[in-house]
Amino acid sequence: MEILTHPNPVLSDRAGEIDPATDPGLRSLVRKMAEAMYENQGVGLAAPQVGIQKRVIVFDIDEELGAICNPVITECSEETEVDEEGCLSVPGINVPVERAISVVCEGLNLDGKRIVLEAHDFLARVLQHEIDHLDGVIILDRLTPDQRKAAIREYNNRAAAE
Ligand code: ZN
């Protein structure tokens, strides 16, 4: 599966909720998303990044593949942290993004069963990043106007150099 990159307008759209029980293509979509994520050494991927406007994310930060449908952050810590973040849809650059240190994420597994995930630190960051994609938000949108300008300049220079 091809991963869409900025400034593809699909990355700015809001993806729709899905019903795992009545979505026959879901398992194959998740398998292909996982393949694309591993191939590109990513730690997470959201369906809109492969052009599918469904609220599905996959992630793997400790050699265990996770997938959540319709993920929602239901709680997040007041404490935040700024750290460098990259994105397969904005390849080649890392930018400082502020995220909650801990979150509770609720959603559905591939069988349509409700799941609740308590995540801290890096996993919390990955979940917030991937759920942003479902709302059409990418890391560049999390920057101040000045940071954004500098990041886009760096991104365009890298793309031009390739
Ligand atoms: Zn991303």
The pLDDT of residue 160:
82
Distance CA 135, CA 17 (A): 11
Residues marked as catalytic: 130
Class level of CATH domain 9-161: alpha beta
| Ligand 1 midpoint to CA 78 (Å) | 23
**If you measure from the C-alpha of residue 133 to the centroid of ligand 1, how many angstroms do you get, rounded to a whole number?**
7
Which residues is 76 bridged to in the sheet?
103
Task: Report how far apart, in Å, the C-alpha atoms of 101 and of each of 79, 89, 98, 122 are.
Answer: 6, 23, 9, 8
Mind listing the pLDDT tens digit for each residue in 109-136? 999 999 999 999 999 999 999 999 999 9
pLDDT by residue (tens digit) across 60-80?
998 899 999 999 999 999 999
Query: How much distance in Å is there from the Cα of 86 to the middle of ligand 1?
Result: 7
Tell me the whole-structure pTM to 2 decimals: 0.96
Backbone angles phi, psi at 139, to 5 degrees: -55, -30
Q: How far is the CA of 125 from the centre of ligand 1 (A)?
A: 11
What's the whole-number mean pLDDT along residues 91-120?
A: 97
Residue owning tokens 């390739």: 162
CA neighbor of 90 nearest in space, from 152, 14, 12? 152
